[in-house]
Amino acid sequence: MRLILFGPPGAGKGTQASLLKERKNLAHISTGEIIRAAMKSESPLGDEARSFVTAGKLVPDTLVRKLAEDAIARHDNDDFILDGYPRTLQQAEWLDEYLADNLVRLTAVVSLKVEDFIIIDRLSKRRVNKETGENYHLDFKPPPVDVPSKLIMQRRDDLPEAIQTRLKEYRDVTLPLEEYFKSSGRLIEVDGVGSMEAVYERIVAGVAAREVA
């Protein structure tokens, strides 16, 4: 199975990708996580990306293309979930070129639909374990009591101003891609509001219907 999880920041792409990874044995390829790891290790790529990420802006296309293609290739071009890639028309066209060159067909693009006020709540209450990278939500999935509080941090791009910039980048640059995927018959729209389990079940049902069709 080869999926793209698409949607605004905070739609639950990472949460659902983790569930799909665990239960369907798919590789989770998150360009956001790859970029954050590069920033942490202070590699040249990380240093170049840092100011964009912190401000909530998209990192230039040329920086992410190779990251994404290398990660897909590492998983033999199969059984993967792309989380957060592509996010621009240029990235989508490069991905299609890459898939065609490698004779790979996407199973589906799952677009998670969540309204802005819910996104703002999710992102402002997200906390991250800085060692494991695990995401929490202060109300719906609080950090376990046995995790020391010094390990729990807030992402800098989850501060109010950066959230607004990310939402604007999404609306202006990324959302138009829905039309690109819809016109090629690959888009599945899924209501991303509800419990994490309920959203997961909707995704699995939507993808299964696509596989049968």
Q: Helix 61-74 crosses helix 89-101 at what angle (to 10 degrees)?
A: 30
Pairing of the two strands 187-191 and 108-113? parallel
Which of 12, 7, 29, 8 shows the shortest CA–CA distance to 137?
12
Residue 173 interacts with ligand AP5 (CB under 6 A): yes or no? no
The verdict on whether 36 is a catalytic residue reads: no
Positions 97 through 136 that interact with ligand AP5 (CB under 6 A): 122-123, 126, 135-136
Residue 45 interacts with ligand AP5 (CB under 6 A): yes or no? no
* Tokens linked to 14: 């990472």
- Judged by beta carbon, residue 43 or residue 211, the one nearer ligand AP5 is 43
Whether the ω angle into residue 148 lies within 30 degrees of 0, i.e. cis, is no
In contact, 58 and 52? CB cutoff 8 Å: yes
Report CA torsion sign: 135, 141, 142, 146: negative
Count of residues of this chain found to bind ligand AP5 when the rule CB under 6 A is applied: 38
Residue 2 interacts with ligand AP5 (CB under 6 A): yes or no? no
CA end-to-end span of the chain? 15
The verdict on whether 210 is a catalytic residue reads: no
Please state the closest distance from residue 27 (CB atom) to ligand AP5, in A: 16
Residue 143 interacts with ligand AP5 (CB under 6 A): yes or no? no
The verdict on whether 13 is a catalytic residue reads: yes
**Which of 4, 6, 10, 71 is close enough to bind ligand AP5 by CB under 6 A?**
10
Amino acid at residue number 5: L
Angstrom distance (rounded) from CA 40 to CA 32 = 12
Q: Which of 2, 65, 87, 122 is catalytic?
A: 87
Residue 202 interacts with ligand AP5 (CB under 6 A): yes or no? no
Query: Hey, which residues are catalytic here?
Result: 13, 87, 126, 155, 166
Binding residues (CB under 6 A) for ligand AP5: these are 7, 9-15, 30-32, 35, 52-53, 56-59, 64, 84-87, 91, 122-123, 126, 135-137, 140-141, 157, 166, 194-196, 199
